Amino acid sequence: MNPPDEFAQALAEAAPRLGAFGRNIQWYHTVTSTNDVAARLAEQGADAGVVIVADAQTAGRGRHGRTWASPAGAGLYVSTILRPPGEHVRLVPIAAGVAVAEGVEASTGLAPALKWPNDVYVGSRKLAGILAEGGTSPNGRAHAVLGFGINVLPAAYPPDVAARATSLETELGRRVDRGLVLACCLRALASRYADLCDGRVADVIAAWRGRAATTLGRQVEWTSEGAMQRGVAENIDADGALVVRTDGAVVRVSSGEVRWI
Ligand code: BTN
């Protein structure tokens, strides 16, 4: 389906600046997960930039096997297909975090912060999350399915989510135009994806660092080979790995879950 009126005007106005992300935007009432729909299309050879948006997800998923609560009309649930140059594929989650934060700021005036790799926070509460999943297209080339979820209304989240999450309307105390937020996020994604494809990797990393001031310099914990490690998060490197200073060394954390303490 084409996006409903709530989205159509903002998307039409933004279309000239959405690049590939404005050519084929498909809207669904309810899906299991927009990442499932995008992955199926990618496996059938769909173009990079196809965008899947759903009003609700019945099996929305987050990182580390978590579920992503996706009540109807309460958030933005969006996925797209990317085929970045191989050398920059590891930076997709970093670039996507920057883009979602920039899209939220452009559409609402809120200035979200980022926690590695790409959790989008307002203060101490999570506003949005990003899930990048890899796959192979029919021509044998790798693709990434990139999904993002943004909480828009404070509605109907399970109690454990409600306690550590926030939403745009909670933060702003007013109604939010989901179409405008979506259009601004896709526009920012088009711009940051172009940065990756054209080799402007340093710009992406600098933008990420600019939004991570409150989390860099903080103590973190993570598990490596079954043992709990602890250190101070100092930076991210050119591959998007978190650089952490421990008692005796500086180590790179490139996957897994990091807890901020
Ligand atoms: C996280 O922070 O754990 C990542 C959450 C990602 C949620 C989005 S909603 C759209 C897309 N479809 C999914 O099933 N997950 C992502």
Question: What does 10-70 look like in DSSP terms, one character per residue?
Answer: HHHHHGGGSGGGGS-EEEEEEES-HHHHHHHHHHTTPPTT-EEEEEEESS-B-GGG-B---
65 and 121 housed in the same domain: yes
As for how many domains the chain has, the answer is 2
225 and 123 housed in the same domain: no
Residues 14-30: pLDDT tens digits? 999 999 999 999 999 99
CATH code for the domain in which residue 251 is found: 2.30.30.100
CA of 134 to the centre of ligand 1 (A): 14
Residues 173-188: pLDDT tens digits? 999 999 999 999 999 9
Q: 6 falls in which pLDDT band (50, 70, 90)?
A: confident
For residue 100, give Cα distances in angstroms to 82, 111, 114, 133, 151.
15, 11, 10, 17, 12
33 and 132 housed in the same domain: yes
Place of tokens 């297209």: 137
Residues 61-118: pLDDT tens digits? 999 999 999 999 999 999 999 998 888 889 999 999 999 999 999 999 999 999 999 9
59 and 24 housed in the same domain: yes
Does ligand 1 lie within 6 Å of residue 79's CB atom?
yes
Q: 259 falls in which pLDDT band (50, 70, 90)?
A: very high
193 and 237 housed in the same domain: no
3-state secondary structure (DSSP) of residue 130: strand
139 and 23 housed in the same domain: yes
148 and 249 housed in the same domain: no
Nearest atom in ligand 1 to the alpha carbon of residue 34 is: 12
CA dist., res. 182 & res. 190, Å (int): 12
Answer yes or no: are the C-beta atoms of 70 and 56 closer than 8 Å: yes
Domain that holds residue 252: 219-260
Tokens representing 168 are 């745009």
Does ligand 1 lie within 6 Å of residue 115's CB atom?
no
Does ligand 1 lie within 6 Å of residue 61's CB atom?
yes
Instruction: Please state, rounded to an integer, the average pLDDT across all residues of the chain.
Output: 94
CATH code for the domain in which residue 124 is found: 3.30.930.10
Residues 128-156: pLDDT tens digits? 999 999 998 888 888 999 999 999 998 76
67 and 153 housed in the same domain: yes
Does ligand 1 lie within 6 Å of residue 130's CB atom?
yes
| Gyration radius of the chain over CA positions | 18
> pTM of the full predicted structure?
0.96
58 and 90 housed in the same domain: yes
127 and 46 housed in the same domain: yes
Does ligand 1 lie within 6 Å of residue 34's CB atom?
yes
CA dist., res. 239 & res. 92, Å (int): 10
134 and 240 housed in the same domain: no
172 and 249 housed in the same domain: no
